Amino acid sequence: MSDENKDLGDKAEDAFDNAKESAKEFSEDAKESAKDFSEGAKKTANEFSAGAKEAFSNAGGENKKMLAGILAIILGCLGIHKFILGYQKEGIIMLAVTLVVGFFTCGIGASAMGLVGLIEGIIYLTKSDEEFYNTYQVGRKPWF
């Protein structure tokens, strides 16, 4: 019996060594795959970011007017239209008021910011292109 136990022990040890080696190879392959995926994702994100920056920087007054107006009507409570026009501080204020006050008032604060966004969207879309450009992009008027 002891020879059989010794053979079983040797076989178990060999199996354990094989499993350890396989796990090590798998780990190395997984690390390499993750590294390749990460590099590809970074490259794609950088390309997307560059394309988005170019698209927004090349957007003329009319394009920003339409985009800001529609976003103000649809997602006005989040202040996205403010970010489109380059008003980061005002966009953060609208987003914070929507999230914080909306949380504590069960959405009433969010609906108030939504109303502000709706009004601004209507104002943006009813102005002429030249008037919109002069008021919100050159004059930098952040509210209404």
Q: What distance in Å separates the CA atoms of residue 82 and residue 58, rounded to the nearest whole number?
A: 17
CB contact set of 143 (below 8 Å; sequence gap of 6+): 90, 120
pLDDT in tens, 7-28: 777 777 888 888 888 888 888 8
pLDDT of residue 62: 54
In the numeric block, which tokens belong to residue 7?
């053979």
pTM: 0.54
pLDDT in tens, 65-122: 898 999 999 988 888 899 988 889 988 989 888 888 888 888 887 888 889 899 999 9
pLDDT of residue 3: 63
Q: What distance in Å separates the CA atoms of residue 61 and residue 68, rounded to the nearest whole number?
A: 10
Burial of 86 (0-12, 13-18, 19+ CB in 10 A): middle
pLDDT of residue 59 exceeding 60: no
The one-letter code for the residue type at 113 is: M
